[in-house]
Amino acid sequence: MRKAFTLLELTIVLAVISLLLTVMLPNMVKSSLSTEESFKNTAAAFFQSLFLPGERIEVCVDFKNNRVGNNDGGFSFPPGYSIESLVFPGRLVSSEVTSRFCFDTDRPVPVLIVSSKRDSYFAVLSYLPVGEPRFYDLTEGEVSTLKDKVLKGRVEEWFSYYY
């Protein structure tokens, strides 16, 4: 009658466990990143990829699919969020007006993308094509102030306050 495992049996079990960990560990680490962190990393990588000195870049905001991008890539907002508006100096584009809006620029311009999820607002602010994006949780009052400043042609005040 046997009372212990042999060295060969223990080695095989350890090899199987290490093989499973090798395959599963990267997926476990990747899934441990929250959706918001993953979104921020993807958005930052996209905005940084736009920097091409002296070249005109085009960016499209797809309000219907909650996606921002161009021919080279892009990013989608986290599940549950819907893009409400795109703001840059002199312009406010709303999801109520169009389902997709594209613009191009060859000089730095501040761009703000506002999304909503129930009663909360989330915004991505970047100076295209050279700035790293900043992420903000906005109150309903801050969003109203922003829209008011855009309508009055004073959006630069809002951008300078937040950037």
Amino acid 36: pLDDT: 74
- Domain assignment present for residue 116? The answer is yes
Rounded alpha-carbon distances, angstroms, from residue 67 to 29, 54, 63, 70, 145: 25, 26, 7, 10, 25
Residue 142 lies in a domain: yes
In a domain? residue 12:
no
Residue 28 pLDDT: 65
The reported pLDDT for the residue numbered 12 is 93
Q: How many domains does the chain have?
A: 1
pTM over 0.75: no
For the chain, residues with pLDDT lower than 50 are none
- What is the domain extent for residue 133? 32-162
At 21, the amino acid letter reads L
Q: Give the pLDDT confidence score for residue 135 in this predicted structure.
A: 86
In this predicted structure, what is the pLDDT of residue 58?
84
Euclidean distance between CA atoms 64 and 111, whole angstroms: 19
pLDDT of residue 134: 85
Q: What φ, ψ does residue 25 adopt, rounded to 5°?
A: -60, -45
pLDDT of residue 37: 79
Q: Does some domain include residue 9?
A: no
**pLDDT at residue 76, rounded to an integer:** 86
Give the model's pLDDT for residue 62: 92
Q: Is residue 8 part of a domain?
A: no
- Find out whether 115 and 82 touch, Cβ atoms under 8 Å: yes
Residue 19 placed within a domain = no
Residue in the block written with tokens 């060859």: 106
Is the residue at 5 inside a domain?
A: no
Inside any domain, residue 4: no
Q: What is the DSSP letter of 33?
A: S
The Cβ of residue 105 has, within 10 Å, a number of other Cβ atoms equal to 15
